[in-house]
Homo-oligomer: A and B are copies of this chain.
Amino acid sequence: MGKITIKDIAREAGVSITTVSRVLNNKAEGMSKKTRKTVLQVMGELNYQPNKFARGLVTKRSNMLGLIVPNISNPFFPELCRGAEDEANERNYSLIICNSDDQSQKEENYLRLLQEQQVDGILLSSKNRLSQTSKDQLESGKIPYVLFDRGEEASNHSGVFLDNEKGGYMAGKHLVDLGHTKIACMTGPLEILNAQQRLAGFQRAFTEASIELPKSSILVGDFQMEVAYLIAKKFLQDNCVTAIFASNDLMACGIYRAAHELGIQIPEQLSIVGFDDIPLVTALIPKLTTVRQGTYEMGRKAIELLLNELENNSSEGVVFDPTLIVRESTKKIK
């Protein structure tokens, strides 16, 4: 850490520290070009780096943003992080990425930590409903935040969300169009609005086509691969369906394995459609048909909203549209 300070460069440049501070902050455009230039030059020569602490102490701004994700191991989230990070960096902010591992406890800790760290804003993506503690934490510190990926709070507060119902509908419609009538749906935990909405959309597509989705065909997973595999294996052993919609791609992976072990061919005997379009889904054989969220873009947008809120105090909710990516795991029924 160069110990050279604003004073040093003031001395070298033969001006006052105020002047240096001014050029540092691009202030008071009405400053002699010459002075500015000299100062800039000296700063360059001395390789001056302003001290964030001193700065923050007076401005109360850290130029840091916090991002809490529920599960960094689900490839969906690294994409979000990339988007958020790129946007933040371009706007001259740094991102502290925190992984709550799906534990409310950890989430709350991070919320506190980030406030202590004096971040300027928080982007919170929690797969679960916000705990009361989290809400309190968020409200008590007056720091701006935006929600990501959970629709439930959409009404009250700014955030970015996906139209999950529509996504579910697209998956369902696709299957209907292919002529499937015996279908199942593997959803995430039903207390999560995302999961509920995707299911609702999926059902709507079939209702429109006057096809019934029996209750027994609604399989409740946990958005993870392992449990999905177990449930699917059991289900496929006893039931005969021609298509399954998985509420996220990780669960679709589990279903692939179950089908494989039971000797069920995809897509010949079983069509599968996933949700998310995580990068690794093209590694599956056959490639997975899925509903894409523009994850990277959503990450960028979320930071944009956060910064708007921070800088202009404007709050806004934006809803993204999903797109259906048809690949190889779905097939017309004969």
How many chain A residues have a CB neighbour from B under 8 Å? 54
Chain B residue contacts of A282, Cβ below 8 A: 225
Scan A70-81; emit 1 where CB is below 8 A from any B CB, else 0. Answer: 001101011101
User: Once bound together, how far apart are the Cα atoms of A117 and B50, in whole Å?
Assistant: 10
Chain B residue contacts of A2, Cβ below 8 A: 141
Chain B residue contacts of A283, Cβ below 8 A: 225, 253-254, 256-257, 280, 284
Pick from B51, B85, B117, B285: contact of A94, CB below 8 A: B117
The reply on A52 being an interface residue by CB < 8 A is: yes
Q: How many copies does the complex hold?
A: 2
Verify A94–B96 contact, CB threshold 8 A.
Answer: yes
Verify A96–B95 contact, CB threshold 8 A.
Answer: yes
The reply on A97 being an interface residue by CB < 8 A is: yes
Pick from B52, B95, B98, B253: contact of A85, CB below 8 A: B98
Verify B53–A1 contact, CB threshold 8 A.
Answer: no
20 A-B pairs within 8 Å (CB atoms) are namely: A1-B143, A49-B115, A49-B116, A50-B116, A52-B53, A52-B62, A52-B118, A53-B55, A57-B57, A64-B117, A72-B78, A73-B78, A75-B280, A81-B97, A85-B98, A89-B109, A94-B117, A96-B96, A225-B282, A253-B280
